[in-house]
Structure 1
Amino acid sequence: MANLLDLKDCWRKIRELYTTVVGFMRYVFGSVMMIGVAPEYLAIWLVWRGASLVFPSWIYQWGDDKLYSLYQRLVLFFFETCTNLEVVLYGDAVDALKKRESVLYLANHQSTVDWLVADMISVRGGSLGHLRYVMKNTLQLMPLYGHYFYAHGCIYVKRGKFSQNKMIQALDYLKHPKIPTWLVIFPEGTRYYPGNPDVIQKAEQYAKDNNLPVLKHHLVPKTRGMWLVSKQLHDKIDAIYDVSVFYDGTVDEQGIRGNAPQLVGFLTGKCKKVHVHIRRIPMSEVPREEEEVGKWLQELYRTKDELAENFFTQDNEKRNKVEKLLNGHKSSLSLWSTLSSFLFFSVLSVPFICTKVGRQMYINLLVYGSLGSYGWLAIRNVC
């Protein structure tokens, strides 16, 4: 019997080692490829940007959305397909994703992976290329991508304060009726991260001081950015997608909520399942006045907090049966939907790696492309 137990323990350790090694290899290879193809992607984008200058802006955006979708499918190949991630959808998700509409995507914020979940949801709705984010201004510093995100229609804002006029200018571009958009906003602004309790305590105190709902699983949502977006795009957006994301394994055996998985842990396969609840709210139900939008958003987050208790509860039985309780549906992507992008970028990389001219072009695109994008963003002063 003792020998049998030793054998089982040995086999368990071998499996853990295998999982760790495979996860590390996936992290290294995936990171190198996703970051490494940036100059190649820039080359394709520059060709399209130049060719589309003679056409209306919506034609440029149509082609750019196709390119963006192509790259994000590569990201999903590593983060969802290779990790064998299980995505479970709740609420209005199944019906809403059958529609083809412009959306204001409001989600809770707890991880550096949250933007990837938007990828996972939008690709299932056939709208991956239409994703655009309200992003913190420090992301401009990303080589090549910092400029590209802005060119794609993303909006940079400064944390704590931002130029309303610049945000309005960026939103005006998205008003075009032929530019479909999923605009992603994380109203909390900062991640809800139990490992940093000071932020959570400050949010709770702010709520008490301002007679707002004290939330158990979210920070106090900021209303100004939401109001500006709603004001500018109210007649363009078809619906609000109130998205609540819950990562499996966040709650320990004692029922205590811990930190959500971050990019590295996610890519190495430490998160096996993601739960996504979507409540579709027609834009006609969203108020227009700033004060009313603020009240509406606070109530929305109070409702989100009640929903979150189903996932973060200390009741193990309730937590284990949450899929059945909330009528969850497992959703899988076809292998080809992401593998095709991986194969495309793999083939595209061959001449850049294997030829002298390709390697020189790659270096030039990386160096001069980065310098040029930084200069362009500085001159435009986009936020």
Structure 2
Amino acid sequence: MSVVQMMERYCKVLEAHVDLFLKSVRYALGSVIMFGMAPEYFGLWLVWRGVSLMLPGWMFQWGDDKLYSLYQRLVLFFFETCTRLEVVLYGDAYDVLKKRESVLYLGNHQSTVDWIVADMVSLRCGSLGHLRYVMKDTLQLIPLYGFYFYVHGCIYVKRGKFSQQKMIASLDYLKNPKIPTWLVVFPEGTRYYPGHPKVIEKSEKYARDNNIQVLKHHLVPKTRGTWLVTKILHAIDAIYDVSAFYEGSVNEEGIRGNAPQLIGMLMGKCKKIHIHIRRIPMSEVPKDEEELKVWLHNLYIKKDELAENFFTKDKEARASVQTRLGGRPHSLGLWSTLSSFLVFTAITVPVLCTKIGRQLYLQLLVYGTLGGYGWLALRSVC
């Protein structure tokens, strides 16, 4: 091996190590800031909650949505701006970007990043603050945020012990037409995760036992939560059927693997995400629960057919999917996320650099967390 070849090899190894180091720093810094910001964010929310006590509920929600949007822009600063993630939009995406409406967002579920995909879509539609999720009950345990998500309008449900009455009670708050809402539901309930084949096998068995089409790339969707939303939230204008596909989920042999999760995304392991949106007017959605069950499964059959374009073993077909399906990249302006990072940095510096700030931080973290746990337990929200 010549000296030149040795130097080239050394440079490549050094470049790889530097790249890994920078990605690790981004992951560590992003995680510390996003989770460490919780007490400051909770403090801001408490101030607004106190100021708005004498105001109508919808005005409190307006301010709360602004705060939520500010924080979620910080999340996207790390997950999209810093990672230089390319977002490609398909279907009705560019039409819905022009609309300002309340929607039921039905997404496919394969990663812990799927909720951030909803951030990406809603920010581009000018509705980031209006996002609310139907979430599994264990997320109540997240310090501070577990409580905050509920008061923001998110709905907790217990897997296997779904309480229809408690979900109806939660939805009642969102019936106010002055509270715009993007309610995010993942009807599959559980992530489609090739690394956990038993979940997929259970779904396929259910489909066969009930004489419905077996899905290749999704789990059989559950209906009750979606039906309750369509029944109660009359202010919903449309359903956004959203399918996200993470590039790099298929290996060289054409075998589908696990989609990247939160750590992998922050480490930059996914360079491009494909997001297909289909807008369905509420007038086309069945009102009867049994009819909706059939309709929703047919919707997932169509999602399955779409997914085959991205998970096919044909390497050339995967490479040409953007051209074939008419996908167009859509980038965020730097200021749309950087501004949030700068705002929270300006708040954090005096908090961490002063004795009274650090004391307040710890008190908000400890007492806010315990108070939130107690409030959720007393309310028995799910």
In the superposition, the TM-score normalised over structure 1's length comes to 0.98
Q: Secondary structure at the match of 1:265?
A: helix
Match of residue 221 from structure 1: 221
Q: Distance in 1 between matches of 2:225 and 2:27?
A: 35
- The verdict on how the C-alpha distance between 1:361 and 1:323 changes in structure 2, with shifts beyond 3 A counting, is same
The CA deviation string for residues 175-221 of structure 1, in whole angstroms up to 9 with x for no partner, is 11110000000000000000011111111111000111100000010
Equivalent residues in 2 for 1:267-286, closer than 5 Å: 267-286=266-285
Q: Distance in 2 between matches of 1:164 and 1:195?
A: 32
State the shift of 1:291 in Å.
Answer: 0.3
Q: Distance in 1 between matches of 2:103 and 2:159?
A: 23
- The verdict on how the C-alpha distance between 1:204 and 1:54 changes in structure 2, with shifts beyond 3 A counting, is same
Q: Distance in 1 between matches of 2:21 and 2:99?
A: 41
Match of residue 365 from structure 1: 364
2:56 is aligned with 1:43:
no
Q: Secondary structure at the match of 2:135?
A: strand
Match of residue 118 from structure 1: 118
State the shift of 1:229 in Å.
Answer: 1.1
Query: How many residue pairs align between the two structures?
Result: 382
Unmatched tracts of structure 2, length 5 or more: none
Tell me whether 51-60 or 7-16 shows the greater mean CA deviation.
7-16
Q: Distance in 2 between matches of 1:4 and 1:301?
A: 55
Q: Secondary structure at the match of 2:187?
A: coil
2:19 is aligned with 1:13:
no
Match of residue 73 from structure 2: 73
In the superposition, the TM-score normalised over structure 2's length comes to 0.98
State the shift of 1:161 in Å.
Answer: 2.1
Match of residue 173 from structure 1: 173
The CA deviation string for residues 128-161 of structure 1, in whole angstroms up to 9 with x for no partner, is 0000000000000000000000000000000122
Q: Distance in 1 between matches of 2:132 and 2:173?
A: 12
The CA deviation string for residues 17-39 of structure 1, in whole angstroms up to 9 with x for no partner, is 12211110001111111111111
Tell me whether 5-14 or 319-328 shows the greater mean CA deviation.
5-14
> Cα RMSD (Å) of the superposition?
1.0
Q: Distance in 2 between matches of 1:223 and 1:3?
A: 66
Q: Distance in 1 between matches of 2:7 and 2:279?
A: 52
- The verdict on how the C-alpha distance between 1:2 and 1:279 changes in structure 2, with shifts beyond 3 A counting, is farther
State the shift of 1:7 in Å.
Answer: 4.0
Match of residue 303 from structure 1: 302
Q: Distance in 2 between matches of 1:133 and 1:149?
A: 8
Equivalent residues in 2 for 1:225-264, closer than 5 Å: 225-233=225-233, 235-264=234-263
Match of residue 92 from structure 2: 92
State the shift of 1:4 in Å.
Answer: 4.9
Q: Distance in 2 between matches of 1:123 and 1:7?
A: 46
2:63 is aligned with 1:57:
no
- The verdict on how the C-alpha distance between 1:132 and 1:196 changes in structure 2, with shifts beyond 3 A counting, is same
- The verdict on how the C-alpha distance between 1:219 and 1:3 changes in structure 2, with shifts beyond 3 A counting, is farther
Match of residue 102 from structure 2: 102
State the shift of 1:230 in Å.
Answer: 1.2
Q: Secondary structure at the match of 1:249?
A: coil
The residue identity in structure 1 corresponding to 2:146 is G
Unmatched tracts of structure 1, length 5 or more: none
Q: Secondary structure at the match of 1:219?
A: coil
Q: Secondary structure at the match of 2:53?
A: helix
Q: Distance in 2 between matches of 1:248 and 1:122?
A: 21
The residue identity in structure 1 corresponding to 2:22 is V
State the shift of 1:5 in Å.
Answer: 4.6
Q: Distance in 2 between matches of 1:2 and 1:236?
A: 71
State the shift of 1:3 in Å.
Answer: 5.0
Q: Secondary structure at the match of 1:280?
A: strand
State the shift of 1:236 in Å.
Answer: 1.0
Q: Distance in 2 between matches of 1:342 and 1:322?
A: 34
State the shift of 1:299 in Å.
Answer: 0.2
Match of residue 336 from structure 1: 335
Equivalent residues in 2 for 1:145-160, closer than 5 Å: 145-160=145-160
Q: Distance in 1 between matches of 2:22 and 2:323?
A: 32
The residue identity in structure 2 corresponding to 1:143 is P
- The verdict on how the C-alpha distance between 1:4 and 1:356 changes in structure 2, with shifts beyond 3 A counting, is same
The residue identity in structure 2 corresponding to 1:184 is V
Tell me whether 133-142 or 347-356 shows the greater mean CA deviation.
347-356
Match of residue 350 from structure 1: 349
Q: Distance in 1 between matches of 2:17 and 2:245?
A: 27
Q: Distance in 2 between matches of 1:334 and 1:286?
A: 35
Q: Secondary structure at the match of 2:230?
A: helix
2:136 is aligned with 1:129:
no
Q: Distance in 2 between matches of 1:163 and 1:294?
A: 18
Q: Secondary structure at the match of 2:52?
A: helix
Q: Distance in 2 between matches of 1:190 and 1:157?
A: 13
The CA deviation string for residues 280-325 of structure 1, in whole angstroms up to 9 with x for no partner, is 0001100100001100000000000000000000011110000000
Q: Distance in 2 between matches of 1:332 and 1:197?
A: 35
The CA deviation string for residues 246-298 of structure 1, in whole angstroms up to 9 with x for no partner, is 00000011110000000001101111000000000001100100001100000
Q: Distance in 2 between matches of 1:6 and 1:95?
A: 54
Q: Distance in 2 between matches of 1:267 and 1:251?
A: 19
Q: Distance in 1 between matches of 2:143 and 2:363?
A: 13
Q: Secondary structure at the match of 1:53?
A: coil
